[in-house]
Amino acid sequence: MSSLRESTIDIIFDHPDFIVINKPMGISVQNELDADGILPLITAQQSVAKYWLAHRLDKVTSGLLILAKHAEAASTLGKLFEARQIEKYYVALGTAKPKKKQGMVHGAMKKIRDGKWALNKDGAAVATTQFFSKSVSPGIRLYLLKPLTGKTHQLRVMMKSLGSPILGDSLYKGMEQDRTYLHAYCLRFTYQEQEISLCCPPNMGELFLAPAFQIALQDYVQPWLQNWPTSKASKG
């Protein structure tokens, strides 16, 4: 892990008001008792005094993370996220084929035990995720995920509910692997009349780097062009 923390964090997009980085897996967005979070690492790397988190990713999740350069930008980006005007697309790997190759998972998030969450029929914290899936290789399946809400562990719980826990996600009984195979793949939004579309394929993990995955991902180069189903949640 030390080499991971010492490596350069990739800057995917540099705007006057914010940057978008490729967060490595295994690093928290906030400081931990025994390790720095992503903010002190990236501020040291970029030789700046401060960045503001516009949103969050789990420690085990890699991929696109927006960091604001000042408080006003953080507020603007926060409002865009709150209004669901920032489209987020993730890729994940599981082992099981769902009953339907594409669809939507909708349910209330309920905290259970040991830091875990579960989907519940009743409750106010409703989470909605759309998905497509396709075979990568025998026993490995690629999921393209589009969360319409931003609940804690939403995608990890959703995958478990499909009977296909994310590979490497030990908290939700995913099969042991060299990493948790969840990656924040693309972002699409309009910021001050500028249309921004960013994609960053995963660059860590044996299964993500395998040729079979690289070929399968080609179908999702521009995930917003998929025929995503509409819902009340997506209409906001």
Architecture of the domain whose range is 2-220: 2-Layer Sandwich (3.30)
Say what the pLDDT of residue 95 is. 93
Q: Is-catalytic flag, 58?
A: yes
Name which of 188, 191, 171, 189 is nearest 180 in CA terms.
171
Measured CA to CA, the distance from residue 114 to residue 132 in angstroms comes to 30
Q: Which of 58, 114, 122, 178 is catalytic?
A: 58
Residues 62, 180: Cα–Cα separation, whole Å: 9
Find all residues with CB under 8 Å of 1, minimum gap 6, and list them: 26, 35
Average predicted confidence (pLDDT) for the chain: 90
Query: Is residue 34 predicted with pLDDT exceeding 60?
Result: yes
Supply the pLDDT for residue 236: 42
- Euclidean distance between CA atoms 38 and 25, whole angstroms: 10
Quick one: pLDDT at residue 4? 58
Q: Which residue has the higher pLDDT, 79 or 5?
A: 79
Question: Which secondary structure element, helix H or strand E, spans residue 217, and what is its range?
Answer: helix 211-217
Q: What is the DSSP string of 41-62?
A: HHHHHHT-S--EESS---TT-E
- Residue 170 per-residue DSSP state: G
Residue 220 predicted with pLDDT over 70 = yes
DSSP 20: E
Confidence of residue 231 (pLDDT cuts 50, 70, 90): low
pLDDT of 224 > 60? The answer is yes
Residue 6 φ/ψ region, left for φ over 0, alpha for ψ in the -120 to 50 degree band, beta for the rest: alpha
User: From the DSSP assignment, how many helices (H) and strands (E) are in the chain?
Assistant: 6, 11
Average pLDDT on 17-23 reads: 98
Percent above pLDDT 70 for the chain: 93
Q: What is the pLDDT of residues 66-110, one digit of tens each?
A: 999 999 999 999 999 999 999 999 999 999 888 888 988 887 777
> Where are the domains positioned within the chain?
2-220
**Residue range 200-205: average pLDDT?**
97
Strand spans (E) along 47-125: 52-53, 62-68, 87-94, 102-111, 117-120
The pLDDT of residue 124: 67
Is the pLDDT at 119 greater than 90, yes or no? no
Sign of CA dihedral 11, 13, 17, 22: negative
The residue-averaged pLDDT of 174-183 equals 96
Q: Count CB neighbours of 90 within 10 A.
A: 24
Neighbours of 137 (CB within 10 A): 14
Encoded tokens for 13: 């997009």
